A = this chain, B = another copy of it.
Amino acid sequence: MQSLGCDVAALNTVDFSNHTGYGQWTGTRSTPEHILDLWSGLKQSFLDDFDMMLSGYVPGAEALGAVGRIAEELKSRAEGRFFWVLDPVMGDNGNLYVGGDVVPVYRGLAGKADLCLPNQFEAELLSEVKITDMLSLGKAIEVLHSRYGVPHIVITSLSLPDDTDPDTPGNKKTLSVVGSSMTSTKQPRAFKISFPAIDCYFSGTGDMFAALMVVRMREAVCDASTSTEPGLDTRRSWLSEDGVGALELPLARAAERVLGSMHEVLAKTAEGLEGRLEEMVRGVKTGGVNGNGNGNGNGNGNGNGEGGIGKKQMQVLKSKAAELKLVRHLDSLRGPKVVFRARRL
């Protein structure tokens, strides 16, 4: 976000040694008191003039409540000139990775957000609609707009059996992102962007999607040189007039650019990944994971003896090898090529 020109203040909701994709980590979660203490510190020094907020991983229900309070305060006094992007991080592929008590808190907060970015599993948890096909997907979006009142939704990483796409023929696996900005009567205006899946387990793609959406949504709405609806940035939740179709939505244009960046970074990360992993495995076996003999020699004791690599260590090394190559590819963030286009759903 900073490399794209955003002046960002980060409020840490956890202070961990590494992301949880490694399967092990140390550090602490921020308490709700700490989060609100930092917020009051920002306020007392007039450092609370945010026009957008992005909230992500908050592992506890009470801490999430504190984050929600901050968003509500910002919203209530900004008179429409504040935009909250809520990434309701709860889990993926059927697994919860926050406490179960976090789910109802997100259900309560979703309607206060301007843009909500659940993945498929999270969209199911929020809408209480099991998404198995295009029909149930439509239903889930409808529920999020009409029951919760979420103005803009993007469901990231959908994988549906009936999701065929002309752009990715053959047996290549297709993933989709589905977005919608509601009309004044809370009707969906839904679009779909499909792209070929990269067969690799990346961590942080949700965070990357969310951060880039903040930048691109703002650009599509507020930047006079790219905005197609003058004055949209002064309208509540940046909701386009009813006459604007799904494919003309700022949300669709933003998502196209975001997916352009993401595909470039993921493809570049996947390049040579196997080789990096093999080198790391060799390094651990010979006592120096980085291949330069400076290994730390404190493997976590679940190796299978004789220089073997345990299952837990393997997860760690795979996570490390698949770390998104962001700072080496800032150009992909700054000037993505749009190759995957939105289609009407």
A326, closest chain B residue (CB):
B2
Q: Is A132 close to B, CB under 8 A?
A: no
Flag if A16 contacts B44 (CB, 8 Å): no
Known A34-B27, A294-B78; judge A22-B45 contact (CB<8 A). yes
User: Restricting to A76-98, which residues have a CB under 8 Å from any CB of B?
Assistant: 77-79, 81
Q: How many monomers of this protein are in the complex?
A: 2
Of the A-B pairs whose beta carbons lie under 8 Å apart in the complex, a sample of 9, sorted by A's number, is: A2-B326, A2-B327, A7-B327, A26-B40, A28-B34, A43-B296, A46-B289, A49-B289, A49-B294
List residues of chain B with CB within 8 A of the CB of A184: none
Flag if A17 contacts B41 (CB, 8 Å): yes
Q: Compute how far the CA of A232 lies from the CA of B223 in the bound complex, rounded to whole angstroms.
A: 48
Flag if B45 contacts A320 (CB, 8 Å): yes
Closest 5 CB pairs of A and B: A17-B41, A26-B41, A46-B289, A49-B290, A77-B294
Chain A 10-29, CB-CB to B under 8 Å as 1, else 0, gives 00100111100010111110
List residues of chain B with CB within 8 A of the CB of A81: 292, 294
User: Restricting to A100-129, which residues have a CB under 8 Å from any CB of B?
Assistant: none
Shortest Cβ gap from A327 to chain B (Å): 5
Flag if A328 contacts B38 (CB, 8 Å): no
Known A26-B37, A40-B26; judge A320-B18 contact (CB<8 A). no
Q: Compute how far the CA of A15 lies from the CA of B16 in the bound complex, rounded to whole angstroms.
A: 13
